[in-house]
Amino acid sequence: MPVSDPIALELFKNAIFSIADEMALTVFRTTYSGVLKDNMDYSTGFADANGKLAAQGLTLPGHLGSVPTAMESIMRHFKDDMAPGDVFIMNDPFDGGMHLPDIFVIKPLFHEGERLAFACTVCHHIDVGGRVAGSNASDSTEIYAEGLRIAPMKLYDKGILNKTIMTFIEKNVRLPVQLFGDLRAQLAACHIGEKQFAELVSRHGAEETKFYLNEVIDYAERLTRAAIQELPDGQWSFEDWIDDDGVDYGKPIRLFVTITKKGGHMVVDWTGTNPQVKGAINNTLSFTKAASYTGVRSVLPPGIPNNEGVFRAIEVICPPGTVGNGVLPAACAARGLTGFRMTDCMFGALAMMLPDRVKAAGDGGNTGISIGGYDSERKPFVYVDFTCGAWGARPFADGLDGNSHMFANMASHSIEVTEAEQPIQLLAYEFVADKAGAGKYRGGVPFRRDYKFLETEGMLQVRSDRRDHRPFGLYGGSPGGPSENYLNPGAENRLLPSKLTMTVKGGDIFRHVLAGAGGWGDPLERDPAAVLRDVRNELLSPAKALADYGVVIDTGVWKVDAAATERRRAEIAKVRGWTETPKVQWHDPAPLARAAE
């Protein structure tokens, strides 16, 4: 039996995580779809012989709970029916998957006939059939309308491709060439994982490889429990609301979480969350786990490996039949919205545990936008875009502007590539003033995008939120401004609901405005120089600076009127019933003003 050596363990850990990262880069380099190569909506992982996640590539936090759940399903169905050359495929949300566009491709890895590990990939495919192009409409009301549902099965059996499965896929999706290209990217990633793992086994031998795969998982558990041990013991609950599900408009959906921490163990309990809904925003339990793990990981030290050991220390509970753990026939294509909002709900509870370390709510993202149809020759096109970009204010700094939500880790599509490949023109992509939540530290500033549709007719699908229930601020910070959707803003400027499926015609322009992020702390404590900087950068209007912060700015010379600001803040404090104005550390605004020029 091998004996653990700390240096050998560190080298082995780095090796298998490098394999997972190289698999992720393989998908990035070889995939066809913008949702993968730009949004990076995929994950790679490496599991041991029993299907326990040992390493996850640096991609999407939203998939933190996905590989373990998928592997449980594969092991349940095929534990004793695996051979070299087998490759498994699945996407069934009710048997190990998350939602239908996320297709798993998993390959068992053998050495001299013995199974030692698994190479795992999951990618969001641009279309898997169903009633709406992109397969992610928020107003579907049951899973059967959402596309092709693939139970766990063998795509390759001892190296032989199952052509029947490929035929079923080809006949049920709108863009089979693109989907098969993305599947090949997943297969390539698994091949790279297999090749590099074989090199690792050749250096260590089978027994030592098995030993250190288990040691890496145990090591992550030890680090996680030690880090949790340092957090305060206690129990904290938080409530937030999704506006509606896109079917029952105006009917809010409750998210409720209770975090209980004792010693080196934490329980995240979603009991009290809304029953599952008609619309397609129901989570699978794996996605609720991912949101929970992401929240907890955000307050733990960096450097803890992402694997099964972390999850052993964090127990996640969500009753079946709720919006966080849907059961058949729950629609779940647009479940991304709920996962993102659950992450923000986690921040609300964690902010009570650790008020000096946790940020306010972000923009509520990501917003999902799909535009699909057929050109004049009846050739299909599908454009899928996931967009988010405003972090909540932090206890020590402003929220980030134009930065993907922590749960996503996504980049934006290239506008030039989008316009070259799709019948779409991007007319605007810019920050929107006066929407960031005010505070001692303001929330992130949101942006708007204008999409002009160039084909004769198509179907527009939008999944957004934070219209009625705005992103919350913390400790005196104001909520962020609401999201907005408009059709033809330069003409009819018709306000659209937050979730919609509608026909668009050639020349129509759809505008989406993200919600602003929540602020942190009392706005009257904000440095006036920081307010001036935001006004000069057109992120804040002079009128809003006066109303929210009590800061008077002379736009003729771009300076803060210090005396007028002191008087205005004293007036606001008096209205609040305070006896004195909060003290603020003033800074010379000139350097900040010059930096904005």
Domain housing 535: 527-596
Sign of the alpha-carbon torsion through 14, 15, 17, 21: positive
Number of domains the chain is built from: 3
Rounded to 5°, angle at Cα 351 from 346 and 357: 110
Q: 3-state class of 48 per DSSP?
A: strand
Identity of the amino acid at 148: L
Distance in angstroms between the alpha carbons of the first and the last residue of the chain: 66
Q: Is the same domain home to 517 and 534?
A: no
Q: Is the same domain home to 394 and 539?
A: no
Distance, in Å, from the CA atom of 41 to the CA atom of 121, rounded to the nearest integer, reads: 11
Q: Is the same domain home to 81 and 110?
A: yes
Is 315 part of a structural domain of the chain?
Answer: no
Distance, in Å, from the CA atom of 273 to the CA atom of 320, rounded to the nearest integer, reads: 11
Q: Is the same domain home to 497 and 550?
A: no
Tokens of 222: 């030890």
Tokens of 3: 């004996």
Are 88 and 74 contacting, i.e. CB atoms less than 8 angstroms apart?
Answer: yes
Are 549 and 499 contacting, i.e. CB atoms less than 8 angstroms apart?
Answer: no
Q: Is the same domain home to 54 and 133?
A: yes
Is 114 part of a structural domain of the chain?
Answer: yes
Tokens of 464: 């957004």
Q: Is the same domain home to 169 and 198?
A: yes
Tokens of 174: 């709108």
In the prediction, which pLDDT does 406 show?
Answer: 85
Q: Is the same domain home to 29 and 124?
A: yes
Average pLDDT, the chain: 93
Are 349 and 261 contacting, i.e. CB atoms less than 8 angstroms apart?
Answer: no
In the prediction, which pLDDT does 4 show?
Answer: 76
What is the residue whose two structure tokens read 């104005």? 581
In the prediction, which pLDDT does 1 show?
Answer: 64
Q: 3-state class of 549 per DSSP?
A: helix
Distance, in Å, from the CA atom of 156 to the CA atom of 154, rounded to the nearest integer, reads: 5
Distance, in Å, from the CA atom of 244 to the CA atom of 274, rounded to the nearest integer, reads: 11
Distance, in Å, from the CA atom of 60 to the CA atom of 210, rounded to the nearest integer, reads: 27
Contacts 24+ apart (CB under 8 A), 375-379: 375/423, 375/455, 376/456
Can you give the pTM of this predicted structure? 0.93
Tokens of 218: 């145990």
Q: Considering only CA atoms, which of 351, 324, 350, 318 is closest in space to residue 337? A: 324
Distance, in Å, from the CA atom of 407 to the CA atom of 411, rounded to the nearest integer, reads: 12
Distance, in Å, from the CA atom of 334 to the CA atom of 499, rounded to the nearest integer, reads: 10
Domain edge (last residue) among 521, 548, 581: 521
Q: Is the same domain home to 491 and 564?
A: no
Q: Is the same domain home to 191 and 64?
A: yes
DSSP 145: G
Domain edge (last residue) among 470, 487, 521: 521
Strand blocks (E) in 26-179:
42-48, 53-56, 87-90, 102-111, 114-124, 153-157, 160-161
Helix (H) or strand (E) holding 139: none
Sign of the alpha-carbon torsion through 345, 411, 504, 484: positive
Task: Count other C-beta atoms under 10 Å from residue 583's C-beta.
Answer: 8
Are 106 and 69 contacting, i.e. CB atoms less than 8 angstroms apart?
Answer: no
What are the pLDDT digits (tens) for 421-476?
A: 999 999 999 999 999 999 999 999 999 999 999 999 999 999 999 999 999 999 99
Are 67 and 414 contacting, i.e. CB atoms less than 8 angstroms apart?
Answer: no
Distance, in Å, from the CA atom of 529 to the CA atom of 160, rounded to the nearest integer, reads: 67
Q: Is the same domain home to 590 and 469?
A: no
Is 251 part of a structural domain of the chain?
Answer: no
Which residue positions in the chain have pLDDT lower than 70? 1, 579-597
Domain edge (last residue) among 470, 491, 521: 521
Is 395 part of a structural domain of the chain?
Answer: yes
Q: Per DSSP, what are the bridge partners of residue 430? A: 448
| Cis preceding-peptide flag for 172 (omega within 30 of 0) | no
Q: Is the same domain home to 364 and 507?
A: yes
Q: Is the same domain home to 30 and 91?
A: yes
Q: Output the CA torsion 91→139→446→349 (10° steps).
A: -70
Is 313 part of a structural domain of the chain?
Answer: no
What is the residue whose two structure tokens read 């058949």? 328
Is 151 part of a structural domain of the chain?
Answer: yes
Distance, in Å, from the CA atom of 502 to the CA atom of 518, rounded to the nearest integer, reads: 31
Is 74 part of a structural domain of the chain?
Answer: yes
Task: Count other C-beta atoms under 10 Å from residue 317's C-beta.
Answer: 18
Distances (CA, A) of 209 to 218, 488, 499: 14, 60, 49
What are the pLDDT digits (tens) for 62-101?
A: 887 788 999 999 999 999 999 999 999 999 999 999 999 9
Task: Count other C-beta atoms under 10 Å from residue 107's C-beta.
Answer: 25
In the prediction, which pLDDT does 583 show?
Answer: 65
Is 169 part of a structural domain of the chain?
Answer: yes
In the prediction, which pLDDT does 582 show?
Answer: 67
In the prediction, which pLDDT does 162 show?
Answer: 97
Distance, in Å, from the CA atom of 335 to the CA atom of 332, rounded to the nearest integer, reads: 5
Distance, in Å, from the CA atom of 24 to the CA atom of 393, rounded to the nearest integer, reads: 31
